[in-house]
């Protein structure tokens, strides 16, 4: 086809892949994709995207005014979107199919910069359905983000529609404040030409125990502004959605500006394209725990990078086989895999209160439980 990114030798396998997604069951991990679209990065690494600007992440902790604090939380959230949804496209030329994490897979690291030390723990807490949980914290500034998520997908007219299941909670120690963050639905376009990319749609919310809520509305190319990756957000006092205190408009891959509704003044502008990230420091592969992602997938990743499909599937089979054996052993012993950093909880008072405010439910049905970071487990793990 005209303008196709599919390598000549992969034309056949790409069209059978497209046919297979037309009839799949909603679990993206069950798809077998051709080599050129495989990424050597596991989905467990994606939790990193939440804090690649540590100083923006910790900024709310220094703000005394609760409305301005909520605004800084909104700004931080918006600043993560480019990393979350468009980096693969920028770095690899298109969205790719990430490695499907195995149960217990870990991704650990830390950012060290002007914000001090910010730590990351990401763990695959469920395999069926796939669910990743994470906790990111900066002790010096007393900011902690934790969350978990899975995806449910459907296919229609050459587009994969992805609903994210799960949420994130940001806690600020100084004000003993929590923010519940909902996750945007997304869709994957560009499938036909073999260059898939993500667009966001729908709304997400950030609602706080301090009584403020932000609503973010996403629109793609051809919508109101006509520019891709557009959004508009408003921050209001609970119950006063019609009278927002602040609005934010622009593109999450480009620039956006924050305005005070009353004075109409522009308070801040942010350019996602120009904002530098701090890279995550991780242990050298040889020093990693066997369950750490880069170590566990080392051989598979090398095979993918070489474009060697036979070695890729051979090495994947080694991992899948040992996972199957582990599950069988657990079954025989009547045991369950012990998650290293997270516990399954039935309910969580703060979470439920905030979810109720948004009218969303937080049942753990689709994520194999409601997952909470356990500092006791974490201290044993270290
Ligand atoms: C994972 C959680 C992150 C945000 C995020 C960004 C991109 C999403 C990813 C999540 C889940 C997996 C995903 C990916 C884009 C493409 C990929 C939906 C939600 C699927 C599995 C790839 C399908 C294969 C095509 C490339 C053909 O915080």
Q: Which residues line ligand 1 (CB under 6 A)?
A: 28, 33, 37, 43, 46, 49, 84-85, 95-97, 149, 151, 162, 164, 188, 196, 198
Q: Which tens digits make up the pLDDT trace of 232-274?
A: 999 999 999 999 999 999 999 999 999 999 999 999 999 999 9
- Per-residue pLDDT, 23: 80
Q: Is 164 in contact with 151 (CB distance < 8 Å)?
A: yes
- Per-residue pLDDT, 120: 98
pLDDT value at 2 more than 60 = no
- Per-residue pLDDT, 349: 86
Task: Output the average pLDDT for the chain.
Answer: 94
- Per-residue pLDDT, 326: 97
Identify the three-state secondary structure at position 220: coil
Give the helix/strand (H/E) hosting 115. none
Q: Is 91 in contact with 31 (CB distance < 8 Å)?
A: no
Taking residues 68-95, report their average pLDDT.
96
Instruction: Report how far ligand 1's centroid is from the alpha carbon of 265 (Å).
Output: 37
- Per-residue pLDDT, 97: 95
Q: Which tens digits make up the pLDDT trace of 190-219?
A: 999 999 999 999 999 999 999 999 999 999
Between 16 and 282, name the one with better pLDDT.
282
Taking residues 89-112, report their average pLDDT.
96
Vertex 208 angle, CA 266 and 110, to 5°: 85
Taking residues 96-102, report their average pLDDT.
96
Q: Which tens digits make up the pLDDT trace of 283-319?
A: 999 999 999 999 999 999 999 999 999 999 999 999 9
Instruction: Report how far ligand 1's centroid is from the alpha carbon of 154 (Å).
Output: 13
Instruction: Report how far ligand 1's centroid is from the alpha carbon of 95 (Å).
Output: 8
Which residue's alpha carbon is at the smallest distance from atom 11 of ligand 1? 151
In terms of DSSP bridges, do strands 131-138 and 143-156 run parallel, antiparallel, or are they unpaired?
Answer: antiparallel
CA distance 337 to 190: 39
- Per-residue pLDDT, 1: 45
Taking residues 351-377, report their average pLDDT.
90
Which residue's alpha carbon is at the smallest distance from atom 4 of ligand 1? 84
Identify the three-state secondary structure at position 202: strand
Query: Which residues partner with 146 through β-bridges?
Result: 135, 169
Taking residues 334-345, report their average pLDDT.
95
Tokens representing 267?
């308070």
Question: Closest Cα partner for 212 from 67, 112, 86?
Answer: 67
Ligand 1 pocket test, candidate residues 188, 197, 201, 367, most atoms within 8 A of CB: 188
As a whole-number percent, the residues of the chain with pLDDT over 70 amount to: 98
Between 84 and 350, name the one with better pLDDT.
84
Q: Is 10 in contact with 39 (CB distance < 8 Å)?
A: no
Q: Which tens digits make up the pLDDT trace of 35-77?
A: 899 999 999 999 999 999 999 999 999 999 999 999 999 999 9
- Going 358 to 81 to 133 to 37, the CA torsion angle's sign is positive
**Is the bond into 129 cis (omega within 30 degrees of 0)?**
yes
Q: How many CB atoms lie within 10 A of CB 181?
A: 23
Instruction: Report how far ligand 1's centroid is from the alpha carbon of 188 (Å).
Output: 9
Residue recorded with tokens 């950012």: 111
- Report the b/e string of 354-371 with b at 16+ CB within 10 A: bbebbeeebebeebbbbb
Range with the lowest mean pLDDT among 29-38, 74-83, 175-184? 29-38
Tokens representing 123?
């763990």
pLDDT value at 226 more than 80 = no
Specify the DSSP class assigned to residue 376: H
Q: Helix %, strand %, coil % for the chain, to 5?
A: 35, 35, 30
CA distance 11 to 3: 13
Q: Which tens digits make up the pLDDT trace of 144-174?
A: 999 999 999 998 888 999 999 999 999 999 9
Instruction: Report how far ligand 1's centroid is from the alpha carbon of 329 (Å).
Output: 31
Number of the ligand 1 atom closest to the C-alpha atom of 162: 18
């Amino acid at each position: 086809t005209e303008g196709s990114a599919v390598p000549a030798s992969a034309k056949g396998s790409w069209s059978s892949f497209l046919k297979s997604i037309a009839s799949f069951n909603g679990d993206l991990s069950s798809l077998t994709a051709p080599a050129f679209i495989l990424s050597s990065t596991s989905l467990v690494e994606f939790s990193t995207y939440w804090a690649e600007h540590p100083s923006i992440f910790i900024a709310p902790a220094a703000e005394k005014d609760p409305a301005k604090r909520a605004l800084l939380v909104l700004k931080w959230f918006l600043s993560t979107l480019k990393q979350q949804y468009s980096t693969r496209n920028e770095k690899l030329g298109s969205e790719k199919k990430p490695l499907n994490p195995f149960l217990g897979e870990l991704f650990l690291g830390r950012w060290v910069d002007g914000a001090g030390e910010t730590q990351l723990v990401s763990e695959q807490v469920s395999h069926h359905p796939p669910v990743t949980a994470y906790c990111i914290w900066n002790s010096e500034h007393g900011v902690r983000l934790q969350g978990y998520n899975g995806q449910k997908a459907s296919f229609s007219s050459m587009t994969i529609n992805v609903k994210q299941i799960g949420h994130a909670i940001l806690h600020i120690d100084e004000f003993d404040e929590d923010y519940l963050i909902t996750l945007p639905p997304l869709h994957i376009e560009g499938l036909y030409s073999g260059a898939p990319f993500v667009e966001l749609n729908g709304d997400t919310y950030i609602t706080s125990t301090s009584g403020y809520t932000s609503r973010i509305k996403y629109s793609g190319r051809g919508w109101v502004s006509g520019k891709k990756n557009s959004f508009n957000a408003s921050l209001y006092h609970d119950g006063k959605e019609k009278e927002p205190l602040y609005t934010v408009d622009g593109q999450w891959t480009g620039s956006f500006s924050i305005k005070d509704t009353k004075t109409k003044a522009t308070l801040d502008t942010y350019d996602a394209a120009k904002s530098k990230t701090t890279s995550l420091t991780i242990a050298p592969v040889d020093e990693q725990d066997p369950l750490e992602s880069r170590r566990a997938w080392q051989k598979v990743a090398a095979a993918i990078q070489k474009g060697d499909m036979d070695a890729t599937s051979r090495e994947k089979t080694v991992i899948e086989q040992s996972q199957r054996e582990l599950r069988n052993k657990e079954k025989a012993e009547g045991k369950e895999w012990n998650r290293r950093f997270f516990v399954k909880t039935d309910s969580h008072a703060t979470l439920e209160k905030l979810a109720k405010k948004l009218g969303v439910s937080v049942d753990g049905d689709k994520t194999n439980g409601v997952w909470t970071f356990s500092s006791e487990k974490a201290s044993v793990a270290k």
